[in-house]
Amino acid sequence: MSKYLFLLLPLLGAAFATAREHPANWIEVRSSRFTIVTNSNEKQGRRIAAQFERMRSIFQQAYPQPEDDRESPVFVLAVTKKDQFRALEPGAYHSRKSLPLHGMFVGAADKNYILMRLDSGAGNPYPVVYHEYTHLFLHQAEERMPLWLNEGLAEFYEATEIYDQDVLLGQPNQQRLMLLREEPLLPLATLFNVDEKSPYYTEEKKGSIFYAECWALTH
């Protein structure tokens, strides 16, 4: 976890405390595994909790863990306005060139936070659920992997489609495919050395090709 993400932990903790102190504006929804705090409505909160639980079930079936593995609590802060999200996201993403974020995961030893946007500008919120849960799963599994693979797996599972009886994984992403056809690819040596401070991770133009190539290479 990078230094600026580490600094986000007390900020997110304070945000949850503030939300709970003003229940007129915020609601809390709990499932067996997740606590959702949102300034949307209860129906939306329950949908988010259900999507997290279903994604958790998918990962448990795909990657069984030892029964004595203990999972840390997961707190999800789902905000309805872009400016509320920006007040909590790292400052590195505040410039005009920055890659726009719709969600982020911050993990610690005893608890985990997921921050996500619900406003219409962020689009369908559930791919964010799947993406950030992948980061959460990899963090809890203590899987040490390079950034490109961590993000590539998150991009792969982001395309999950969950139905009543079926689940589709790794669906084609036409926007990614189009970008890869139109833009020159990063040399593998560059891709493999991108870290969380790199412009390929934080800037919109460079970050877009980084994420697209991570997605394709993971496939």
Q: Give residue-wise pLDDT tens across range 177-210.
A: 999 999 999 999 999 999 988 888 888 888 889 9
- Of 83, 120, 79, the closest CA to residue 103 belongs to 79
Mean pLDDT of the 99-106 span: 78
DSSP structure class, residue 98: B
pLDDT on residue 111: 78
CATH topology of domain 1-144: Glutaredoxin (3.40.30)
Which residues contact residue 90 at a Cβ distance below 8 angstroms, ignoring those fewer than 6 apart? 4, 5, 8
pLDDT in tens, 127-151: 888 988 898 888 877 767 899 999 9
- The residues spanned by each domain of the chain are 1-144, 145-219
d(Cα 180, Cα 75) in Å, to the nearest integer?
A: 35
Most confident of 24-28, 34-38, 161-165, 188-192: 188-192
Token pair recorded at residue 126: 């559930």
What's the confidence (pLDDT) of residue 45?
93
Task: Give the tens place of pLDDT for each residue, 79-91.
Answer: 998 888 877 766 6
Predicted local confidence at residue 16, as pLDDT = 56
Could you give the CA distance from residue 109 to residue 187 in angstroms, rounded to a whole number?
A: 35
DSSP state of 93: G
Say which residue the tokens 């390079």 belong to: 146
Choose among 159, 170, 131, 120: nearest CA to 52.
131
pLDDT over 60 at 23, yes or no: no
User: How does strand 112-117 pair with strand 74-79?
Assistant: parallel
Question: Structure pTM?
Answer: 0.75
Report whether pLDDT(70) > 90. Answer: no
